């Protein structure tokens, strides 16, 4: 409304019109109440305030542009909105004349201008956001909204990860992990993540992955298979690339849950380490974890407990006698590994200072493969034991198989003798209750040394195969029960030496020992059982299918339960009892062309009972005297078809007649 309202035409210089124009201009520019004001002709016109309100509404109708949070900081332009994470409320800056509005990190609405007209005003974004979210081109039109959506979904792209396996995602991945640990969010990778720096978790990781085809190792045949996995390509040198609750975190975390995570070394990462999991447990579950290509060590478990591993794979990791592909240490306990695959590693596994660990149907394999099609990556020939247990208790292997490198490859690579070749698995004397139950163990091609067990435990219902004979393929050195095993040996046909095993203290019964070596040279050295005379084994009934051998044992044995099982022939004279099975009946053939007498029974074991059967046509005389004592103190003449039995008195060094059939 004007004061004079003269109605004079535009351009009038009358004083009344100039007064009215000045009054109208003042309302146009400074009025903050009226959105319209009539000009001097009485026609309503928008004030600047009215225009601002309509522009704001137009921006609202076009859609808000989320640019971040007060806590992270952002820059706002017309149409931008920002969220206060502490309340979840979105705000717009109401003073268009001061745009762009810069919000530093760590801000609040109160610290950056306050709340009210011309300041921060809360906005209802639900309708606009729904429209933007439903827009098929939303990711292009509203990139900030897409980032917010990715973060809501836990998609690593929301923190700047490219997830293409090429870009370095190290810092952005660590930022996402920190956010997920604060807000208890799962993280999702749309593709492989490449890192060049160590990644650390201080809480149980919550990771999901995508469908992919794992890499083929060397020339290994077979089409890749699709699996769901969170893929990390590591180029971290020397150190672990992933640490879950490292010791510096100074806390014990529970509920470890890792599903289909694949950590693969590339570039400088092959000299680094894979994954460290420490101080975790209480209901942990790990399924489909793959660690591959880390020669500084694959997976280390330190003070981990109450955790089930399902289908763990560790491939091409570790360094011989330095660091194992799988290290279990520092009091780890109550762990179960179901169908673990530990293959093509120089040093397969080391367990130290740990207890109560079960391997169910594991697959431990390295060494010789059938031909070049497997690739050099599989040819891991160890100079030192590849599975090594120290200071640990109650470790069980149930089923599955354990295969190692052959002595032929070890001798060729390192220029050593068969006796210097390592055992594939070594159990220290400070271990107890280490059991192998129903395991197939040995070598796929040629032969080798499979086990040295210096602790206590059981080897039951196993199938050791392709065991070498030119040196001991097995050592049992302790309170060990070796029972119901089917043992197959691969003889060196040109060697005059033959061994089954070396043992002391152990109990050996109900086993099958087989080696069809009739075409080999005669065996002049070695023994089925290489023994320590002062620490005899307990030997029960076993079956021996062996064509050629030298001694049966070279020390002393104790029969578990005296009985006779089969026969062995002797030519009489001074009989070396170490040549014969302690449970065999010794047959002699008296008469023409046969034995005339027995002059001594040498190397009998304490308590050993042996029956001698005369299957010839003439008599056989057992000479009384020396280490043979016959009833009545006179020679015993055994007629054809009769027997005589002696028992060895270990303290007196004499074999005394026990019974006769004549």
Percent helix, strand and coil across the chain, each to the nearest 5 = 15, 40, 45
Could you tell me if residue 524 is inside a domain? no
Could you tell me if residue 494 is inside a domain? no
pLDDT of the residue at 217 = 52
Position 532 pLDDT exceeds 90: no
Could you tell me if residue 337 is inside a domain? yes
Q: What is the CATH number of the domain that holds 112?
A: 2.10.10.80
Domains held by the chain: number: 4
Average pLDDT, integer, range 307-329: 96
pLDDT of the residue at 96 = 80
In this structure, are 86 and 165 located in the same domain?
no
In this structure, are 258 and 242 located in the same domain?
yes
Q: Which is more confidently placed, 289 or 16?
A: 289
pLDDT of the residue at 333 = 96
Average pLDDT, integer, range 445-466: 96
pLDDT tens across 24-71, in order? 767 777 777 787 878 877 788 877 777 777 666 655 555 678 889 999
Could you tell me if residue 521 is inside a domain? no
pLDDT tens across 130-178, in order? 555 556 555 555 566 678 788 888 899 999 999 989 999 999 999 999 9
Position 210 pLDDT exceeds 70: no
Strands 654-660, 620-622: pairing kind: unpaired
Look at residues 36, 62, 88 and tell me which one is the last residue of a structural domain.
62
In this structure, are 96 and 30 located in the same domain?
no
pLDDT of the residue at 56 = 66
Could you tell me if residue 136 is inside a domain? no
Q: What is the CATH number of the domain that holds 604?
A: 2.60.120
Please state, in angstroms and rounded to a whole number, the distance separating the CA atoms of residues 325 and 49: 72
pLDDT of the residue at 58 = 57
The H-or-E segment that residue 175 falls in is helix 170-183
Phi then psi for residue 174, to 5 deg, are -65, -40
pLDDT of the residue at 131 = 58
pLDDT of the residue at 222 = 44
CB 265 within 8 A of CB 293: yes
In this structure, are 89 and 169 located in the same domain?
no
Structure tokens at 563: 């009985």
Q: Poorest-confidence range of 3-12, 320-329, 455-464, 536-545?
A: 3-12
CB half-sphere exposure, 181, CA atoms < 13 A: 15
Could you tell me if residue 103 is inside a domain? yes
In this structure, are 427 and 446 located in the same domain?
yes
Could you tell me if residue 537 is inside a domain? no
Average pLDDT, integer, range 310-326: 96
Average pLDDT, integer, range 346-365: 97
Res. 129 pLDDT band, cuts 50 70 90: low
Phi then psi for residue 53, to 5 deg, are -65, -40
Look at residues 20, 46, 62 and tell me which one is the last residue of a structural domain.
62
pLDDT of the residue at 232 = 92
pLDDT of the residue at 128 = 58
In this structure, are 93 and 192 located in the same domain?
no
DSSP 382-419: -SS-SEEEES-EEEEEESSEEE---HHHHHHHH---GG
pLDDT of the residue at 555 = 83
In this structure, are 400 and 365 located in the same domain?
yes
pLDDT tens across 243-287, in order? 998 877 778 888 888 888 999 999 998 999 999 999 988 889 999
Average pLDDT, integer, range 488-502: 95
Average pLDDT, integer, range 336-362: 97
Structure tokens at 517: 């070596």
pLDDT of the residue at 137 = 55
In this structure, are 10 and 73 located in the same domain?
no
Q: Which of 624, 645, 643 is nearest to 634 (CA)?
A: 624
In this structure, are 253 and 367 located in the same domain?
yes
In this structure, are 123 and 265 located in the same domain?
no
In this structure, are 251 and 314 located in the same domain?
yes
Task: Indicate the SS3 state at residue 521.
Answer: coil
Average pLDDT, integer, range 178-199: 89
In this structure, are 266 and 341 located in the same domain?
yes
The H-or-E segment that residue 263 falls in is strand 261-265
Q: What is the CATH number of the domain that holds 336?
A: 2.160.20
pLDDT of the residue at 139 = 53
Look up the domain containing 619 and give its range. 568-660
Q: Poorest-confidence range of 122-126, 202-206, 223-227, 402-406?
A: 223-227
pLDDT of the residue at 372 = 47
Could you tell me if residue 345 is inside a domain? yes
Position 224 pLDDT exceeds 60: no
Average pLDDT of the residues of the chain: 87
Position 350 pLDDT exceeds 90: yes
**Structure letter (DSSP) for residue 631:** G
Please state, in angstroms and rounded to a whole number, the distance separating the CA atoms of residues 237 and 497: 48
Task: Specify which of 366-380, 455-469, 597-611 reaches the highest per-range mean pLDDT.
Answer: 455-469
Q: Poorest-confidence range of 316-325, 345-354, 375-384?
A: 375-384
Average pLDDT, integer, range 343-363: 97
């Amino acid at each position: 409304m004007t004061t004079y309202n003269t109605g004079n035409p535009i351009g009038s210089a009358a004083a009344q019109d100039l007064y009215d124009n000045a009054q109208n201009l003042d309302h146009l520019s400074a009025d903050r109440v009226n959105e319209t004001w009539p000009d001097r002709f009485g026609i309503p016109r928008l004030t600047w305030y009215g225009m601002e309100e309509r522009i704001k509404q137009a921006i609202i109708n076009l859609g808000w542009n989320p640019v971040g949070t007060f806590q992270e900081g952002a820059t706002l332009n017309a149409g931008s909105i920002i969220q206060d994470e502490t309340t979840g409320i979105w705000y717009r800056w109401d003073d268009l004349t001061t745009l762009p509005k810069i919000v530093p990190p760590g801000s609040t609405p109160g610290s950056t201008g306050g709340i009210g007209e011309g300041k921060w005003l809360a906005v209802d974004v639900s309708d606009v956001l729904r429209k933007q979210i439903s827009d098929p081109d939303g990711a292009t039109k509203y990139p900030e909204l897409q980032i917010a959506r990715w973060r809501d979904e836990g998609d690593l792209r929301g923190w700047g990860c490219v997830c293409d396996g090429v870009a370095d995602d190290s810092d952005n991945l660590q930022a996402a992990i920190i956010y997920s640990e604060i807000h208890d969010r799962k993280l999702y990778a749309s593709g492989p993540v490449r890192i060049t720096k160590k990644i650390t978790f201080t809480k149980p990781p919550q990771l999901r992955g995508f469908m992919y085809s794992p890499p083929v190792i060397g020339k290994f045949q077979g089409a890749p298979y699709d699996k769901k996995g969170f893929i990390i390509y590591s180029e971290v040198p020397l150190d672990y690339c992933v640490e879950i609750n490292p010791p510096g975190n100074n806390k014990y975390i529970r509920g470890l849950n890792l599903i289909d995570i694949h950590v693969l070394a590339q570039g400088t990462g092959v000299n680094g380490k894979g994954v460290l999991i420490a101080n975790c447990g209480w209901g942990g579950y790990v399924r489909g974890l793959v660690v591959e290509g880390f020669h500084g060590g694959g997976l280390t478990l330190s003070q981990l407990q109450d955790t089930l591993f399902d289908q763990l794979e560790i491939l091409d990791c570790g360094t011989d006698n330095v660091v194992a592909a799988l290290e279990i240490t520092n009091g780890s306990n109550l762990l179960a590994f179901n169908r673990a695959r530990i293959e093509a590693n120089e040093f397969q596994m080391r367990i130290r200072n740990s207890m109560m660990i079960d391997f169910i149907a594991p697959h431990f394999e390295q060494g010789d493969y059938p031909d070049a099609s497997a690739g050099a990556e599989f040819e891991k020939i160890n100079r030192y034991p590849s599975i090594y247990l120290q200071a640990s208790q109650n470790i069980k292997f149930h089923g599955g198989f354990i295969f190692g490198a052959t002595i032929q490859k070890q001798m060729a690579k390192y220029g050593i003798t068969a006796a210097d070749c390592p055992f594939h698995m070594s159990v220290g004397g400070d271990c107890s209750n280490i059991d192998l139950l129903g395991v197939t163990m040995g070598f796929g091609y040629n032969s080798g040394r499979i086990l040295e067990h210096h602790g206590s435990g059981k080897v039951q219902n196993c199938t050791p195969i392709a065991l070498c004979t030119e040196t001991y393929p097995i050592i049992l050195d302790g309170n060990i029960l070796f029972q119901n095993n089917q043992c197959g040996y691969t003889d060196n046909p040109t060697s005059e030496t033959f061994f089954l095993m070396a043992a002391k203290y152990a109990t050996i019964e109900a086993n099958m020992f087989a080696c069809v070596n009739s075409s080999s040279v005669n065996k002049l050295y070695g023994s089925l059982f290489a023994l320590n005379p002062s620490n005899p084994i307990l030997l029960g009934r076993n079956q021996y299918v062996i064509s050629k051998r030298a001694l049966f044992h070279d020390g002393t044995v104790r029969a578990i339960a005296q009985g006779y099982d089969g026969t062995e022939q002797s030519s009489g004279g001074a009989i070396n009892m170490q040549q014969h099975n302690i449970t065999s009946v010794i047959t002699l053939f008296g008469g023409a062309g046969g034995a005339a007498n027995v002059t001594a029974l040498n190397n009998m074991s304490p308590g050993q009972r042996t029956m001698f059967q005369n299957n010839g046509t003439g008599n056989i005389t057992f000479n009384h005297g020396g280490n043979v004592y016959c009833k009545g103190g006179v020679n015993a003449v055994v007629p054809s078809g009769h027997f005589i039995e002696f028992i060895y008195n270990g303290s007196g060094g004499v074999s005394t007649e026990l019974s006769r059939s004549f």
